[in-house]
Amino acid sequence: MSTTAVPLRPIAKGSLTRLWIGVAVVALAAGGLAWAGQQHVAASPTAFLASNAHEDGVVTTESGLQYKVLEEGSGASPTPADVALVGYKGALLDGTVFDENPQAPMPVDGVVPGFSEGLQKMKKGGKYRLWIPPQLGYGDADNGPIPGGSVLVFDVTLHDFKSKAELMQLQQQMQMQQGAAPHVGN
């Protein structure tokens, strides 16, 4: 068995230096991009919302609520006199999830103003992303895991809604049925 030797060419003078300079430039660029990404997340709510308003599909209402239709629903929209059955995930701009529920009944007029406004834009079966500015959320006050002055980001699905009057009527019917049920025992 024989071994064939492959001649190696000598490295040109300065090539190693250029290689290390290239590695340093790439590392600095990566660090700069990471820093810029941090600045975007840490930007003020006003700066974030101003930038977000220019994203594809984002609508800004007169009050300052921003929303994007992820999936359009059909039919009517809830009013402040309704109770909505929703699935939602609430997060901060940095992605920290502070609340999540796949199916929760909510009085439309009993939630923060931005969430209420967003619900009234939706139709049954619709999926929206809401960006709620602090003045339509919790303002400057801390609220549990939500720091004061936070933009709230919600992904919301509107499953269904009923008027409060309909729910009261259903509740009364159920109570009447329970009261009319025969009692078993002594």
pLDDT per residue as tens digits for the range 98-117:
999 999 999 999 999 999 99
Q: Answer yes or no: is 78 within a domain.
A: yes
28 pLDDT above the threshold of 90: no
Which range marks the domain in which residue 104 is found?
57-170
Q: Answer yes or no: is 143 within a domain.
A: yes
Stretch among 10-14, 32-36, 72-76, 148-152 having the lowest mean pLDDT: 32-36
Q: Answer yes or no: is 92 within a domain.
A: yes
- Report pLDDT for 24: 72
Assess contact for 144 and 98: CB atoms under 8 A: yes
Q: Which residue has the tokens 């609508």?
A: 59
- The CATH number assigned to the domain holding 146 equals 3.10.50.40
Q: Answer yes or no: is 52 within a domain.
A: no
The CA-atom distances, in angstroms, between 108 and each of 9, 38, 74, 163 are 76, 35, 18, 10
Q: Answer yes or no: is 18 within a domain.
A: no
Q: Answer yes or no: is 89 within a domain.
A: yes
Q: How many domains does the chain have?
A: 1
Q: Answer yes or no: is 8 within a domain.
A: no
Residue 25's CB is within 10 A of a number of other CB atoms, namely 10
Q: Which residue has the tokens 């929209």?
A: 77
- Report pLDDT for 106: 95
Q: Answer yes or no: is 147 within a domain.
A: yes
